[in-house]
Amino acid sequence: MQEYWELYMKNLEGKPASIQFNAGISMELEEIQYSYPTVAFVKAKLKEPNENGLLSENEEPEILFMEDKLEASMIKFRIGKYVGRIISDGYVTFLYYVQYTYNWPDFIEFALNEHTSYDITNGHQEDVDWNYYHKLLYPTAREWQLIQNHKVCDNLREQGDGLHLARAIEHKIFMPSVDKKEALVETLLAKGYKIKDEIENEDGVKGLDFYRLDKPFYHDIDAITLNLIDIAEAHDALYDGWETSIVKS
């Protein structure tokens, strides 16, 4: 099973939440979900959350140690898979999918025997369809776009780009149906974009390559791409991401 983890922020019940989840497991759900039909959780109240109810730097080492101890216990008792962690509203919740629960108390005792100073609850329930993974941990299309945006921004910064200088940012949209192509082009032009090329992907789906001068800073590019996702959806099309050149200060 692949171990491929992602970390992102979202809003849960009106509160900011830090979500870390095993994205690699999504590639194998059809093979494993019926072998691990029960979702289980361990929820701990943070001792000193930051002003947003998230994990503070001071407490991070202890929570990471708790996470490692839980993972070691999961491996020792061989009962399931660790799929994600949610930090929000002053709590951290670790989520697992397990094969069986008869030795769940033994798992908890071994994992948490060094964390008696924390207020901790735990439990489990049937979830054959993995709804907690799909609907709580797994990002929406918009959240996935933000994850990718920040990866590109991080890469640009690592190469000396300050991200604050405007430059041509190139985007792609693909159209499974070209019925609304003209309306899509008109909308993009009205937003200040210039059409570079008509393109086609490896599956033969036609699309548009277009650009505009913008800053690729995190908040700026997030707003731009979310707007383009809306535009694409309104024209029965799919936004396919962006790229740009490095501009060093």
Domains of the chain: 5-137 (3.30.70), 141-244 (3.30.70.970)
The predicted structure's pLDDT at residue 31:
86
Enter the tokens of residue 188. Answer: 């993009």
Pair type for strands 38-45 and 206-214: unpaired
Q: List, for residues 57-68, the tens digit of each pLDDT value.
A: 999 999 999 999
Mean pLDDT value across the chain: 95
Cβ atoms 239, 145 nearer than 8 A:
yes
Residue 127: which of 83, 71, 76 has the closest Cα?
83
| β pairing state of 120-126 and 80-88 | unpaired
For residue 192 the two structure tokens come to: 């200040």
Tokens 């650009």 -> residue: 211
CA 184 from centre of chain: 28
What pLDDT sits at residue 2?
Answer: 62
- Given a contact cutoff of 8 angstroms between Cβ atoms, the answer to whether 217 and 164 are in contact is yes
Provide mean pLDDT across the span 16-35.
91
Query: In angstroms, rounded to a whole number, what is the distance separating the alpha carbons of residues 138 and 25?
Result: 11
- Identify the pLDDT of residue 138: 95
pLDDT for res 29: 87
Indicate the pLDDT class of residue 191, thresholds 50, 70 and 90.
Answer: very high
Please indicate, yes or no, whether the overall pTM of this predicted structure exceeds 0.75. yes
Confidence of residue 166 (pLDDT cuts 50, 70, 90): very high
Confidence of residue 208 (pLDDT cuts 50, 70, 90): very high
Percent of the chain scoring above 90 in pLDDT: 93
